[in-house]
Amino acid sequence: MSILIYAETQNGSFSKSAFELASYARALANEMDTSVTAVAVKPTDPKAIELYGVNKVLQVNNPSLTTFNAKSYAEVISQAAQASNSSVVLLSTSADSKFLAPLLAIKLKASYASNVVALPMSLDPFVVKRTVFTNKAYGMTELSGDRRLISLSKNAFGLVEQAVSAEVEVFEPSISESTQSVTGVDKASDKVTIADAEVVVSAGRGLKGPENWGMIETLAEVLGAATACSKPVSDMGWRSHGEHVGQTGKPVAANLYIAIGISGAIQHLAGINSSKVKVVINTDPEAPFFKAADYGVVGDAFEVVPALIEKLKVFKSQNS
């Protein structure tokens, strides 16, 4: 018996979410008195994940897995779950993992809960807490059956080191032919993505036009942050859809979310609810965002943001 995690890699290195999943799995394994197995596609340093309590790494090297294919990856994880006799399988909430999760649930005949935010509240019955109504509430979901699939919300558990010595085994799953393939990828490699970012700098209509985003980009750069925007900004085409944060856009679960010139519509606030610390900068002291934030500055973005950039540059030079 084991707990299986699908440990995602980017260019061969484990992503932060893989370490977070491992941390969660280790804590759960301690409660269930079992071990943790990770399945990973072409990790360059498979043992790197042992720091977070993984006992065994199933290393998959099939050449056909070079580009992501949800169906093939679900087959790999499904076979790894069988091979490791895992009763609990854990995934992250990256776009790729959310894509393959429902396919995997059917293959494994598993019960599946997504957007889980904490360790199970009880093991028998097996009950997890997950976000519902786009972060406006939590639901306690009981998963039945003898195989359970859980996707863990980003930043919900954090990283917990508990070093063990991991055994690495080359795993060779059989992968069926697919009638679907990736023909192109369009991805800015030098930019922090909203999914990975610890800090997100987001701006709204208060910026008056797309030409004024330079200072937002600069602030994001100083903080090593991803940029995001409100729904009206994406609807008007000032910024791409990929940056839209909120109920019909992306959720943001960052450590720090800085909202500039965003009034704070209920749909937007729902989307950022899982972020830990929220800072709002707005000219209107009555903006609803001030009721949902931790720190607030009333002021014109065109004055506050450039001043903040200068002060942060000084701070960074003294603290690095």
Q: Which of residues 148-167 bind other proteins (CB under 8 A)?
A: none
Q: Among residues 82, 111, 212, 218, which is the contact residue for other proteins, using CB under 8 A? A: 111
Binders of other proteins among residues 41 to 60 (CB under 8 A) are none
Q: Which of residues 215-234 bind other proteins (CB under 8 A)?
A: 223, 234
**142 part of the interface to other proteins, by CB under 8 A:** yes
Binding other proteins by CB under 8 A: which of 66, 161, 248, 284?
248
Closest distance of CB 88 from other proteins, Å: 14
Asked if 158 and 20 touch (Cβ cutoff 8 Å), the reply is yes
For other proteins, the closer CB: 43 or 251? 251
Candidates 30-38, 40-48, 51-59, 140-148; binding stretch for other proteins (CB under 8 A):
140-148
Q: Does 184 contact other proteins by CB under 8 A?
A: yes
8 Å CB contact between 158 and 27: no
Contacts 24+ apart (CB under 8 A), 132-139: 133/270, 134/247, 134/251, 134/267, 134/270, 134/271, 135/251, 135/270, 135/271, 135/272, 135/273, 135/274, 136/270, 136/273
User: To the nearest whole angstrom, how small is the minimum distance from the Cβ of residue 41 to other proteins?
Assistant: 16
Among 42, 59, 83, 196, binds other proteins (CB under 8 A): 196
Tokens encoding 142:
């009981």
Smallest gap from residue 187 Cβ to other proteins (A): 3
DSSP assignment letter at 15:
P
Candidates 22-30, 56-64, 79-87, 179-187 — which segment interacts with other proteins by CB under 8 A? Answer: 179-187
Long-range CB contacts for residues 13-16, cutoff 8 Å, separation at least 24:
13/43, 13/44, 13/45, 13/48, 14/40, 14/43, 14/48, 14/49, 15/92, 15/94, 15/196, 16/159, 16/196
Shortest reach from residue 35's CB to other proteins, in Å: 25
